Chains A and B, each alone.
Chain A
Amino acid sequence: EAQVTQNPRYLITVTGKKLTVTCSQNMNHEYMSWYRQDPGLGLRQIYYSMNVEVTDKGDVPEGYKVSRKEKRNFPLILESPSPNQTSLYFCASSFSGLAGNQYFGPGTRLLVL
């Protein structure tokens, strides 16, 4: 089944404790992206990747890191999480950048205490 998977789905952590949210797709997509969703703010793009080893900042990259060492994986790293990073995170992928249909993962709900 074609899908985008994210792990974990739910996470409670404390300020400053490094964490990684994994994202994997099995559709051989070139483009992958991370978004955060907050009440009243909609979805905002954090980082995106056009292909392996190619990443770029979205609108809200501060406090986040990403890497794209393999085509299928695009982990989101929070080196020192803070409470303002409490949010719902979505990973997405598409075959050919934003001209293609983006498939979204199920979301990861993160709470930083």
Chain B
Amino acid sequence: AQKVTQAQTEISVVEKEDVTLDCVYETRDTTYYLFWYKQPPSGELVFLIRRNSFDEQNEISGRYSWNFQKSTSSFNFTITASQVVDSAVYFCALSGAQGGGSEKLVFGKGTKLTVNP
């Protein structure tokens, strides 16, 4: 069965600090996708990134970066120079290969990030 673990339930930082959100996953699929979503206090869910299992390149988008390591089954998310607007709940998610009968999406329980001024 697929599983996503976000061990950090809540993190609190001061503005401008860097912060890393951990995500560890379990799957037997050889082809799978990993996602990060953001849920700000307003409640909507915002897609941040999708990674397929064959692409282990790290990705950077502005202050956001993602470190995908298959060897440790981790897909960690780092926010550099955090801002108050980054305060949100962040979810990591995992799905099986498209068309492989595994179109289910499994979410971690989320990490609540609070960035204080």
Contact = CB atoms under 8 A, between A and B. Distances in A.
Interface of A: 31, 33, 35, 40-45, 48, 50, 56, 58-59, 88, 90, 92, 96-99, 101-104, 106-107
Contacts of B93: 43
Given A40-B109, A42-B91, A42-B110, A97 B43 contact: no
B105 A33 contact: yes
Secondary structure at chain A's binding surface: helix, strand, loop or mixed?
Answer: strand
Interface residues of B, number: 23
Contacts of B95: 98
Contacts of B64: none
Nearest to A97: B98
Residue in B35, B50, B103, B108 with the greatest tally of chain A CB atoms within 10 Å: B103
Secondary structure at chain B's binding surface: helix, strand, loop or mixed?
Answer: strand
A37 to B, nearest CB: 8
A50 B100 CA distance: 12
A41 B110 CA distance: 8
Nearest to A48: B103
A99 B31 CA distance: 11
Given A97-B99, A98-B95, A45 B44 contact: no
A107 B44 CA distance: 7
